[in-house]
Chain A
Amino acid sequence: MTEIQSDSLRKLLHRILTTRPEELGCETCCEELGLLAELESRGEDAASLLPLVRLHLENCQSCNEEYSALLTALKEAQSTNPL
Chain B
Amino acid sequence: MILCPVDQHTIKSRTNQDWLQALRKPASPEALEELRAILMRGLRAALAGRGNGDVDALAEDFAQEALLKILASLETFRGESQFTTWAQRIAIHIAFSELRRRRWKDVPLQAFTQSQDGNELTPALLTSPNSSPEAQVTRRDLLRNVEDLIFEELTEKQRTALLAIVQDGFPLPVVAERMQINPNALYKLLHDARQKLKQRLEQKTGLSGRELLAFFEEE
CB distance from B145 to the nearest CB of A (A): 9
B interface residues, how many (CB within 8 angstroms): 62
Which residues of the partner chain B approach A65 to less than 8 Å between Cβ atoms? 96
CB distance from A68 to the nearest CB of B (A): 8
Distance in angstroms between the alpha carbons of A14 and B218 in the assembled complex = 12
CB distance from A3 to the nearest CB of B (A): 5
Per DSSP, chain A at the interface is helix
Which residues of the partner chain B approach A12 to less than 8 Å between Cβ atoms? 146, 150, 162-163, 166
Knowing A15-B166, A35-B80, A77-B41 are in contact, say whether A1-B112 is a contact too (CB < 8 A).
yes
Q: Which chain A residue shows the least CB distance to B193?
A: A16
Distance in angstroms between the alpha carbons of A74 and B91 in the assembled complex = 12
The answer to whether A38 and B217 touch across the interface, beta carbons within 8 angstroms, is no
Q: Say if the beta carbon of B70 comes within 8 Å of chain A.
A: no
The answer to whether A72 and B46 touch across the interface, beta carbons within 8 angstroms, is yes
Give A1-41 interface residues, CB cut-off 8 Å to B: 1-6, 8-19, 21, 23-28, 30, 32-35, 37-38
The answer to whether B197 and A60 touch across the interface, beta carbons within 8 angstroms, is no
A interface residues, how many (CB within 8 angstroms): 49
Per DSSP, chain B at the interface is helix
Q: Which of A1, A12, A23 has the most CB of B within 10 A?
A: A12
Name the one of B10, B93, B194, B197 contacting A82, with C-beta atoms under 8 angstroms: B10
Distance in angstroms between the alpha carbons of A33 and B95 in the assembled complex = 15
CB distance from B38 to the nearest CB of A (A): 6
Q: Which chain B residue shows the least CB distance to A19?
A: B194
Name the one of B110, B146, B150, B171 contacting A61, with C-beta atoms under 8 angstroms: B171
Which residues of the partner chain B approach A33 to less than 8 Å between Cβ atoms? 89
Name the one of B46, B147, B212 contacting A9, with C-beta atoms under 8 angstroms: B147
Knowing A5-B167, A15-B166, A70-B92 are in contact, say whether A60-B172 is a contact too (CB < 8 A).
yes
Q: Which of A18, A38, A69 has the most CB of B within 10 A?
A: A69
The answer to whether A30 and B216 touch across the interface, beta carbons within 8 angstroms, is no
The answer to whether B93 and A66 touch across the interface, beta carbons within 8 angstroms, is yes
Of the stretches B21-29, B125-133, B183-191, the one at the interface is B183-191
1/0 contact trace for A52-76 toward B, CB 8 Å?
0000000011100110011011111
Which residues of the partner chain A approach B81 to less than 8 Å between Cβ atoms? 34-35, 37-38
Q: Which of A1, A8, A28 has the most CB of B within 10 A?
A: A8
CB distance from B64 to the nearest CB of A (A): 16
Knowing A13-B216, A25-B183 are in contact, say whether A19-B191 is a contact too (CB < 8 A).
yes
The answer to whether B167 and A4 touch across the interface, beta carbons within 8 angstroms, is yes
Q: Which 7 A-B pairs have the closest CB atoms?
A: A73-B42, A25-B184, A76-B45, A25-B187, A34-B81, A69-B46, A8-B167
